[in-house]
Structures are given as structure tokens and as C-alpha cells.
Structure 1
Amino acid sequence: MKRRRFLKQGLAVIAWTGVSTFGSPFASIPILSGSTAGAKSLAGPPLLIPPLLDADMNDSALGLDVMTGSRRFFSDIDTPTLGYNGSFLGPTIRVRDGKRVQLRVRNQLKESTTVHWHGLHVPAQWDGGPRQVIEAGAEWKPDFTIKQQAATLWYHPHALGRTGEHVYKGLAGMFIIEDDFSLNAPIPRDYGVDDIPLIFQDRRFYEDGSFAYVTSGHDIMHGVIGNYLFVNGAIRPQLNVVRGIVRFRLLNGSNSTIYRLSFSDKRSFQVIASDGGFLERPVSVDSLIFSAAERFEILTDFRDDTPGTITSLVIEQYGGESFQAMDIIVGSEKSQVETMPASLRRIERLNPQEALLTRQFSMQTMSPGGRLTINGKNMDINRIDATVKLGSSEIWEISNKSEMMMQLPHSMHLHDVQFQVLERNGKPPLPLEQGRKDTILLLPGEQVKIISRFEDYTGIYMFHCHMLEHEDSGMMGQFEVVG
């Protein structure tokens, strides 16, 4: 694997290097050779924009069929896949704050699954975690009211011990919340035209074209790292954009890989939102680091580009390869948005002085055997790890304290809530971490302090590492909100 220099962004300074004690992940696998790394010619397909399932446009329940299929990622090979309402990935679900949402999920697989609404504040019975199992051939009918601000979320399986494989084979999709602010703010919002969803995933394949998803010692520790990079389920697609301000909704939909995103021409861009919604003001950066399951929304300025200008989105893997992920071609048509916003949305700050209590959580890789634990424990569906009072706020201090030879990054995800970051490594959060979040990256030795308010719903929810091979290996716990 490549070793990379130190890279900076508004989030943190991190060593862009993989720490491996298990050897090459590809050493004993007949992997399909080649990658999108370093490709120089424009040969990719058009970017696929996921179809829109808009709750405002449907009087009946929104339907999601979990199904098998096949996709031709390469010109002469069919790959067996999973998808929602199709062969790979799923539609973008769009809803509005304050509105009731009804869904009908039909499991057409020959095994059980779940559908988790990642980042959504919902009653525990509709959360879609490992407790809400949909058996093979069964239906699940969530019915809830949206009670949160505009944000880019997503949905994916959460079956106990099998989440990684299901996501790897294609089960994922975006979930967008709109509200009065987002619908009236001076930002792009024409879905698929100047408001573009982008799901980034790396994959590897056997020589017969099937996904090479194996969980060896290396893959469990470091995640299943791919040598091909997908954007919306395609390898190095092309996108034609308008001349003006374009909004990209970015989702790191990989199983475990940390990505650094930039443009090939080094242009800067404005970050306007993180996991749980808008920042208070745009943050200008020229690169962005985001771990598995994290989302950002960015505005990119193409106003001064001449028609036909080509730039590329570049994705670098943590400890891995660099990919020309997607080529962007600027058209002649001008966009409806001609200015960058100076400010966005005021965020109500939770008061640490009002926190009912402070808890500590240590994410650890432990000997013998490289056990993946939180506070020394593996996931037990029959155990509650924290009992939280409804309506209270709590501070959680989360650390990544693995043994010297087991130092790995982790990303903590909390179900049900959007938290706020109080500190990273004892210092106030930098601008990109000052918004609402539900997933946060911790590199080896790092510590974060977050605050959450647990409101509206009682019940049992999950917290876990969102590096899916870690999650499936037991790096997960449960908290119960009680009245």
C-alpha cells in the first residue's frame, strides 16, 4: 500500500498512511487486476443519478424492494449484486420536516435483512437496526413523522454480523430531508441538475467478475479495501454541469475506507453542510477528508469556466490508491444560482453545563486475536450498555486506545441523535466539525467529546463503529432511552 504525507483540512491533521500488521489484503485472492487509479482518458459512462422517491409526490407508501440482480461494471462481465428497486444501490428518498412518512419494505432475498435510516430521528421500532429484522419474503411498514432539519442522510442494511456483505453488494441509498429553510435558501436544489448526489464506494472483484468480499484477518482489521472506485455505482463516470454554482451531496458509502476528496485542478470549494444539516456559514477548503458513512454538502463554482472545461474529482484512500473518480465537463447553460451564500443556518448549541452526566467509551482492538470492542465488550443483543433519561443531554467522551500493534482508525456512529462536537484531542472543534453530526472519525490515539440530547422517543438504539467489518465483528453496543 502507498504511504502518504501528512495532509491538512479543517477537520484535523492526520497521517495519511496505512498501518498494517497483516500483510497485503490481496495476497491470496485471485483479484481482477487494474483500477481507475491514474487513468488518463475520458472513457467512462454518464453519471447515474438515482431515481427520486419523493414523499410529497406520493399519496401511498413509498415502496422499497430488497432484491438480487446483476450489473455490468465492465463491458464483458456480469456481477451478481443486491439493490433496492433495482440491481445496485437504491432510489433517493426525499421527505419534508413535519410530514408523515410511510414506507413499505419488501424483502425479496432468501435471507433476512434490515433497513436502517442512518441519521434519522425516529421511534426505536422504526430505526431499522438489528432488532428490526425483516425475514426472507416478509414486509416491513415503517410509519413515522419527520422531526428534524434539512440534511443529507442515507439508508442501508443493519443485519447483525452481515451488514458489511449486504452493503458491499449494493444495498444503500440516499435519504434527503428538506424544510422551509432549505427550500428558500439561495443554494442549488434542482435534483440531478445542479443538486447532485454522489455515493463513493471502493470495490474489488474476483476474476469471474463477482465481488471479492472476504473477511480474512487483514480485512476484519483494516476493512475490505477495493482497487476500483465507484461513483453512484459506476467506474469513472462523466457528469455535464451547468456554468454556475453546483451543489454536490457527498456520501462515503464505503464499508470502511477513509477518503480524501479534491479536484484535479486544485480548485477550492465551499462546505455548507455535514451529517445532520447546514453549517452556520460556508467553509472554504481545497480538500475534504471523510470516513465511512459521513456526509458533506459542498458548493463548487463553475461560473468562470469556459464551456468544455474538464476537471475531475480525485479520491485518495487512507493508506491506499488515488483515483480519478469522476470527470466533470462544464456546459454552456448557466445555472439559476449565481452567488455563494455568506451565511447559512444558526445552530442551537447544547449547553455542556446542562448535561445530566458524562460517559466514557473506549474503542479498542485487543489481544488475543485482535478483538474489536467498546469498553472491552463485544456486542450482545441481550445487553444494554447505557440507560439514558428521555429529555436529557449527555456528554460522551470517546477514545481510540488500541494496543501498539493494533492501532486502527474507527468511526463512531450514534443512532437516533445528531450530536455536537465539544472537543477533539482537548481542543475546540475546527469549522467542519461545528455542525450536527451522527458519525465521527477517530484515528489511533485520538479522543473526542460530544454532546447529545435524547428527546421524543424511548426505546433501544445502537452505537457502533461504522467501519462495517468492525461493526460485524462486535464493535457495537446499545443504549436505551427511558421515560
Structure 2
Amino acid sequence: MKKKTAWIIIGVIVAIIVVGNVGWFVHTQQHSQSSSSNRSGMMGSWSGSSGHSMMGGNSSGRAQRNSDTDVPLKTATTAAKRLAVPPILKPTKKSGDSVYYTLKAEAGTTTFKPGVKTKTMGYDGSYLGPTIRVRRGQTVHTKVVNQLNQRTSLHWHGALVPGKADGGPFEPIAAGKTKQTTFKVDQQAATLWYHPHAMGTTASQVYHGLAGFMLVDDQNSQKLNLPKKYGVDDFPLVVQDRTFSKAGQFDYQADYNADGTEGNTLLVNGTLNPYINVTTNQVRLRLLNGSNARTYHFTLNHGATIRQIATDGGFLNQPVKMNQIDLAPGQRAEVVVNTANATSKNVALRTNGQRVLQLRLHSKRTGSRTLPVKLNHLTPTKQLNQFGLKHQTISFSGMGRMVRINGRVYNPDRIDLTAKPHTNQIWNLTNNDSMMGGMDHPFHIHGAQFRILSVNGKRPSAAESGLMDVVNLKPGKKVRVLMSFHDRGIFVYHCHNLEHEENGMMGQVKVE
């Protein structure tokens, strides 16, 4: 009898616990949905063709994924096509060291597959945008015309510009409106890019094609004996993953994942299954990960060698021989491929099990087979002063709608950190994710560049020793960086997984 009574009591206790947990779960979900709705109202949502709110959940019904469960990439089935190289944008006006540009954000259609017109977005065209090439010391005046039916902005990713010219989430351009920005180019030669950054529309607009290169030249880059004939031995490559519906369209709403939207098809400069004709012994590839969420792991085959010469913010001190180049969303790397000892006429740049780009080697290639020994004069990492500096701690955590920085969701009315221009700080970056294996969080800073001091307590590799504005934080990873802001203003820092960014994984720093 006593045993029976004991079992009854245990059963009642278990029932109470279960009911309590169910009630807690329902309350939590309702609270999460309410919070998400409130943020959507504050930050806005895209009411364009998809009708999808960036702040919502996983509308595709797809399970949230961790960092190891990428959407599988498909092998290209279309015939190989010559790589599209974005044209250099011509200034509308030049006056001394001042150059003037106009960019139009517009909707259109693009033929990726024969006979199929896909609805897309682009700058001065239907998909992607022209390359803007500027020189250190120039003053750049840009007029951005928004011909879309939704708000947008234009962020100069990697550029050291004043806060008002940065094009961040608090500088939107309404549909049908125009915005003008001016900034002076005052940084080393580098491969930068531009893309939208208005809260609630960024991820979808980038997915539909709004992005372009900005290349900075300086005296050093002009003197170095490197491949530099644009579109001949010097190629900009924006690598993206997209999914085509049965009708041949981008369906962002159907493919949306709160933990990062990935596609199953690779595009390079908007080209399916691309190739380039290589007529020189060395070819320079300016790699840009322009995807919303996928990380790429680039390799070469058939005996060709790859040497990294630059990171996000400019040249490394020396070329670094690499077996693999890993790029998180937003990251760039300049590499030089040496084909002199290639064992095949067709060399492939590959990633994640698929071919990215075919290099068709001319039988009589010309030009240099060597690289300069010295590329830059950056202070070695171990000699960087770290004493007496202000420290900041930036902690990334969460998944899906529940992503946070330092336990907070982005609030455009809140200043999270402060800094002074041209004053070094040390930022301690951590990824505290542990749930379900955790998520990668690529940290990106606006208005500044940084040098990595340590990765999990160890000195960075040679390829990580350059100027950067993005570093990938894998679960449990700790990175210490040294940075200073170039100009005054309000700048954001955030996860460059665009869906995480739009779900509030972002903070603000005021520089004054």
C-alpha cells in the first residue's frame, strides 16, 4: 500500500512538472513572437515581392541548422559559360582629385539559365553592380538613386568613411528617393565592396543581387609587380549561393532560414558554371564571399599553387602559400594562382565539393612566374602595443530569432559602446554558442579595420596577420583584436550572417 501511495505521489509530481514546462514553453513562444513583432514594427520589414518579414521565424518550416549542416550544393548541369566581369563604373564628372558617381538601385530580370528570365535586383543593371575603382587621396561623391519599390541604403563595406557616409541601418533611402554621400579615400589599396544595409531589407536585397566591388589603389599597389590587368589577369570574383525555384526564380521567402539562408547553386559574378581563359603564368583572383550565410573553403587542383597576398583591408607583408582559403560571409582575400607547373590544361577553383571556376590554360602563357618578396610594411603582430589600452568585450550567442550580442538585441536608439577617433582599443570577441552544436558568427565592424592579436590565446597565422574588417567566430572561439576608428560618427558592429544581422545581432558604437 505504501509503495502504491508513493508511486501515486511521484506520478502527480511528474504531471505538475510536465504541465508547468508546457505552460512555460507556450509563454516563452508567445513572448518571443510578441518581441519579434515589436522589433519588426520598430525596424521594419520588407513588403516587396516576397512579403516576408525579416524578423519572423523560419517561414520555410526548415529546421534550424548548426554550423555543420549547410544546404548541399548541386553540381552545375548547364554548359560552361565565360565569366561575366563587372564593368568599371565611369565617373559622371571629374574635378582635380574629386570624382563623382551615380548608382541606381533597380529591379529587373536576368537570364542565368537559357530561356528563363529570373527577377533580380542590381545597381545600374539587373544583377550585381559595376566595379568602382578609386585612388587613395581622391574625394568620392556618390549619388544613390533608389528606383526600387522598397527602402534601401548603400554601405561601403571596408571603407574608412565618416558615420554619415557609411550607409548603415540608420541611413535608409526611401523608395523613389536619392541620397548623396561624400568621403575622402584614406586607406591602403584593398578589395572592398558595397551592398545595402537598411534594416529589414538587407538580406533579401543582397540575395536578389544588390552588391558590387570597390577597388582602392595607392602608390604601393601601382609599383608592385603583380597581375593588374583588369579582366585579363586580375579578376574580381563575388561567390554566392542561390536556389532557383522550378519556375527559375529566386524565392527568398520559401528558402528563408532564420539561422542563415543558403542556396544550392553557385554563382560567380552572376555566372553559372563559369570559366576564364588564362593567358599568363600568374592570375590574380579577388575573392569575395557575397553569400548571406555560407562559408567557403577554396582549393585548387592539378598542381597549381595558390598564394594569398591580401586580406580584407589590404596587402599582407609577404605572400603566403595556402592549401585552402576559408572565407566567411563578407570576407575578402586576394590570391595569385601560379599555373606554371599545372599538370592539366584545365585547373579548377573548388569549394565545398563543387567547382567554383574553371581556369582554361592557354598553351603558351606569358608573364612573370614570381611574386614580390615584400608586399607591405605592417608592424608585426608581436610588436603591436597592447598596454594601457581600453578593452571592450563583445560576446555573441544564440540562434534563429534569439541571437544576441552581450545579451542584447539591436536597438537603433541605444549606444552600446564609445570610442575616440584614431585611438587604439582592444576588443575581446567571443562566440558563446553551445546549443545544438552552435553557430558561426562572422564579426564585422564598420568605420574601422583591425589586426588580430590572438586566436584562442595563440598568435594568428600569417594569413590572418593583415588588416581585416571581418573575422569568423566559430562556437567557443575567442579572438582578441586591436582596432581604431578612422572618423567620427555612429557605426555598427554585427554578425555578417545577414539573417542574424536582421534578427538583431548588432550593436552601435559612437565615435567622438
TM-score (normalizing by structure 1) = 0.87
Question: Which residue does 1:464 correspond to in 2?
Answer: 494
Question: Which residue does 1:145 correspond to in 2?
Answer: 184
Cα separation, partners in 2 of 1:42 and 1:131, compared to 1, 3 Å: closer
Matches within 5 A, 1:71-90: 71-90=110-129
Could you tell me how far 1:150 is from its partner in structure 2? 0.2
Question: Which residue does 1:157 correspond to in 2?
Answer: 196
1:359 equivalent to 2:392? Answer: yes
DSSP 3-state at the match of 2:229: coil
Q: Distance in 2 between matches of 1:43 and 1:245?
A: 26
Matches within 5 A, 1:265-284: 265=302, 267-284=304-321
Give a deviation string over 1:32-79, Cα, whole Å, max 9, x none. xx997445x882111000000255995562111100001111113211
Question: Which residue does 1:477 correspond to in 2?
Answer: 507
Query: Which contiguous aligned blocks of 4+ residues in structure 1 show a shift greater than 6 angstroms?
Result: 22-27
Give ranges in structure 1 of 5+ residues lacking alignment. 1-21, 28-33, 317-321
1:185 equivalent to 2:185? Answer: no
- Which of 175, 185, 209 matches 2:248? 209
The count of residues paired between Structure 1 and Structure 2 equals 444
Q: Distance in 2 between matches of 1:407 and 1:103?
A: 40
Please tell me whether the aligned partners of residues 198 and 231 of structure 1 are also in contact (alpha carbons under 8 angstroms).
yes
Could you tell me how far 1:355 is from its partner in structure 2? 5.2
Question: Which residue does 1:309 correspond to in 2?
Answer: 345
Aligned partner of 1:107: which letter? N
Name the larger-Rg structure.
Answer: 2
- Which of 438, 449, 457 matches 1:407? 438
Q: Distance in 1 between matches of 2:458 and 2:269?
A: 36
Could you tell me how far 1:403 is from its partner in structure 2? 3.7
- Which of 260, 277, 280 matches 1:243? 280
Aligned partner of 1:358: which letter? H
Question: Which residue does 1:286 correspond to in 2?
Answer: 323
Cα separation, partners in 2 of 1:69 and 1:395, compared to 1, 3 Å: same
DSSP 3-state at the match of 1:181: helix
Please tell me whether the aligned partners of residues 300 and 306 of structure 2 are also in contact (alpha carbons under 8 angstroms).
no
Could you tell me how far 1:415 is from its partner in structure 2? 0.3
Question: Which residue does 1:326 correspond to in 2?
Answer: 357
Q: Distance in 1 between matches of 2:221 and 2:434?
A: 45
Please tell me whether the aligned partners of residues 101 and 142 of structure 2 are also in contact (alpha carbons under 8 angstroms).
yes
Question: Which residue does 1:264 correspond to in 2?
Answer: 301
1:219 equivalent to 2:250? Answer: no
Question: Which residue does 2:211 correspond to in 1?
Answer: 172
Q: Distance in 2 between matches of 1:87 and 1:23?
A: 27
Could you tell me how far 1:195 is from its partner in structure 2? 0.6
Question: Which residue does 1:423 correspond to in 2?
Answer: 454
1:449 equivalent to 2:486? Answer: no
Q: Distance in 2 between matches of 1:411 and 1:193?
A: 32
DSSP 3-state at the match of 1:80: strand
Could you tell me how far 1:174 is from its partner in structure 2? 0.7
Q: Distance in 2 between matches of 1:57 and 1:323?
A: 43
DSSP 3-state at the match of 1:86: coil
Question: Which residue does 1:106 correspond to in 2?
Answer: 145
Cα separation, partners in 2 of 1:115 and 1:353, compared to 1, 3 Å: same
Could you tell me how far 1:353 is from its partner in structure 2? 3.0
Moved more, 435-444 or 352-361: 352-361
Question: Which residue does 2:471 correspond to in 1?
Answer: 440
Aligned partner of 2:424: which letter? S
Give a deviation string over 1:359-410, Cα, whole Å, max 9, x none. 11110006xx750110010110000000112231110001000243361011
DSSP 3-state at the match of 2:500: helix
Aligned partner of 2:504: which letter? G
Q: Distance in 2 between matches of 1:209 and 1:225?
A: 16
Aligned partner of 2:349: which letter? L
Cα separation, partners in 2 of 1:283 and 1:42, compared to 1, 3 Å: farther
Give a deviation string over 1:252-284, Cα, whole Å, max 9, x none. 000010000112325321100000000000110
Could you tell me how far 1:302 is from its partner in structure 2? 1.9
Q: Distance in 2 between matches of 1:404 and 1:431?
A: 32
Give ranges in structure 2 of 5+ residues lacking alignment. 1-57, 64-70
Between Structure 1 and Structure 2, the one with more strand by share is: 1
Q: Distance in 2 between matches of 1:348 and 1:422?
A: 12
Question: Which residue does 2:88 correspond to in 1?
Answer: 52
Could you tell me how far 1:304 is from its partner in structure 2? 4.1
CA RMSD of aligned residues (A): 2.5
Question: Which residue does 1:384 correspond to in 2?
Answer: 415
Could you tell me how far 1:300 is from its partner in structure 2? 0.7
